[in-house]
Structure 1
Amino acid sequence: MSVVRYLDTSSQTPPQTFLASLWGGFLGLLIFVPLLVINVFQMLSTLLIPISPSVFRKTNRFIANYYWGFLVLIFEKVNKIRVDITGDEIPPQENAVVDCNHQNIADIPILMVLAWRKDRLGDLKFFVKDVIKYVPGPGWGMIFLDCIFVKRNWLSDKEKIDATFHKFKVNKTPLWIVSFLEGTRITASKLEKSQAFMKRKGLPITQHVMAPRTKGFIASVNSMRKELDAVYNVTIYYPEGIPSLWQLLKGDCKTIRMHVKRTAIDRVPEPEAELEQWVIDAYVEKDKLLGNLKKANPLEPDSSEEHSPPIKVRS
């Protein structure tokens, strides 16, 4: 069984650790305190709903786009985190379902780097745990962006998901629907349980990703098929080890690799059994890619990489 490797900063001297913590604390306040102010503006934006629901949605997209753009600037330009993107070319402003392997909460701001490049930053719609909506700041903000809150029980979640998708269709909402199909962040113990599950079900046993939960993905793709342009299978790899959000804030993580495979929606299978197998095959492919990345020199750049352009936040 593969060992899940986290970013190790134990080699830092006490002064380095202290200064990094001060820096991380400063950026944390700079990032998280304004969220409460943003929540106030989002609440005030509800006054626009009776006048123009369209203006209400555009206002909250504008807020998300600029705030998340600020996060991208902090991580890429201030903390100088290099995000190297390989794989298929992604056209800007597509509607897509985005499936990504899930290693830590750090995955979310890294996905924002990709969304910023493709002019979909304010249009991210995350599948998130229901309890998050009660958290001031990020949770409250996601409510106004029509993120999809789920309780991990498909029967109880389905009605809410269908209602949200109906809203997207009626309003012709531009979107990237982001889903972490593993359902939770990977750990060594969770991976071991997932491998036991895969063995019982006769599935290919993966070493670097867990078995995908396919029901929500199948429902998302088939329900929104007419509104989608593509499905993106995103694989994130941390050469230095998986960082926490705190380590991203401190600037401990310096290099991240992201591989994107784009499949046009008309090439994504529609029958449920075929689509489920398509997802399983995609995770076997993710597993092989991560295995190859771990075997290779992790910090050596690839000639096909797409490097970070200058930051310019879009409205």
Structure 2
Amino acid sequence: MLSFLPPFLRGAIAFALLVLNTLFWCAPLFALSLVKLALPFDAVRLRVDPLLNAIATHWIACNSGWMRLTQRTHWDVEGVDALRYADWYLVNANHQTWVDIFVLQHVLNRRIPLLKFFLKQQLIYVPVIGLAWWALDFPFMRRHSKAALRARPELREQDRETTRRACAKFALVPTSVMNFAEGTRFTAAKHRAQHSPYRHLLKPKAGALALALNAMGERFHSLIDATIVYPDGAPTFWQFLGGRVPRIVVRVRQLPIPPEFCAGDYTADAAFRATFHRWLEQLWLDKDAQIGALLGAPGAAAHA
């Protein structure tokens, strides 16, 4: 509707609407989170958590509203029609830009339960939204260097315990646990530094997926594997706000989770770890081939 405006003005309007939308929904979110904080009982959580998730769902829906208002992006989305809102899901996707989060929220909102991300500890200090993530029980993980882990192996247990506590909360109400297996955004420099065997992806990290499956794998209905492609190049967040993303392609597929992955010990069992790595590497080979095919395919009709 406002696509006739110049990109800078569209970006300014989109950013203002994002901020206003966030402030509006954070007011009831923080009020309810204080109730949960004051009464930390499962019976209270069972009543309050769905309300908190509903608030976040409305926030995402309003974000989709300003995206439609200010952008003329063509959305090419397949694979979401068979999803069910009432189930638990483990969601995995490739990662190129902060825009990925808005893309996933836009295409999956109200099709599956609210996406819950594992976040870096520093992000809790992001004004307003950091507190919102805390109120919604997004788990905050501490990043440790390889040198620190070698010097203090017990630091690994911190992330495992954080994951276990988060998954215990997620098990109470239907939740979608989101993971970017690459662990960081794809860049050509990172790709070269890793000597990645994949053309369009960084090497996947298995630890977070394995921990989530060990903690609550029997709850998960399936793995949702999402592939995000920007045929004109991964955009910055400002380019996205300004409507300078001509086309976004998303392919979603549901995959069964091998039952043995829900009981194996990734840390202590070398055989299990090798099996898990082979499964994830095959998943990544398939995704890499899919991205290559999508980048080489002509534009499809837009929907979603």
Indicate the TM-score class for this superposition, using the shorter chain for normalisation. Answer: 0.7 to 0.9
Shift of 1:47: 4.1
Q: 1:162 aligns to what?
A: 164
For residues 34 and 86 of structure 1, the distance between their equivalents in structure 2, rounded to whole angstroms, comes to 28
Q: 1:57 aligns with which of 25, 38, 49?
A: 49
Shift of 1:248: 1.3
User: Residues 269 and 168 from structure 1, CA distance in 2 versus in 1: closer, same or farther, beyond 3 angstroms?
Assistant: closer
User: Residues 240 and 156 from structure 1, CA distance in 2 versus in 1: closer, same or farther, beyond 3 angstroms?
Assistant: same
Q: Report the number of matched residues.
A: 276
Unaligned runs of 5+ in 1: 1-15, 199-204, 309-315
Shift of 1:187: 0.8
Q: 2:268 aligns to what?
A: none
Q: Secondary structure at the match of 1:265?
A: coil
Q: 2:297 aligns to what?
A: 296
Q: Does 1:212 align with 2:204?
A: yes
* Higher normalized contact order (CA 8 Å, seq sep 6+, divided by chain length): 1
Shift of 1:223: 1.7
1:1-315 correspondence runs (5 A): 19-49=6-36, 50=39, 52-76=44-68, 78-87=70-79, 89-93=81-85, 94-116=87-109, 118-120=111-113, 123-153=114-144, 154-169=156-171, 172-195=172-195, 198=196, 205-266=197-258, 269-270=261-262, 271-297=272-298, 299-301=299-301, 307-308=303-304
Once the two structures are superposed, residues 66-87 of structure 1 have per-residue CA deviations (whole angstroms, 9 ceiling, x without a partner) of 0111112222454232221224
Write the letter of the residue equivalent to 1:290.
Answer: I
User: Residues 43 and 52 from structure 1, CA distance in 2 versus in 1: closer, same or farther, beyond 3 angstroms?
Assistant: same
Write the letter of the residue equivalent to 1:183.
Answer: G
Percent identical pairs in the alignment equals: 25
Q: 1:201 aligns to what?
A: none
Q: Secondary structure at the match of 1:114?
A: helix
For residues 88 and 56 of structure 1, the distance between their equivalents in structure 2, rounded to whole angstroms, comes to 28
RMSD, matched Cα: 2.4
TM-score, length-normalised on structure 1? Answer: 0.80
Q: Secondary structure at the match of 1:173?
A: coil
Write the letter of the residue equivalent to 2:111.
Answer: K
User: Residues 295 and 214 from structure 1, CA distance in 2 versus in 1: closer, same or farther, beyond 3 angstroms?
Assistant: same
Write the letter of the residue equivalent to 2:167.
Answer: F
TM-score, length-normalised on structure 2? Answer: 0.83
For residues 233 and 187 of structure 1, the distance between their equivalents in structure 2, rounded to whole angstroms, comes to 21
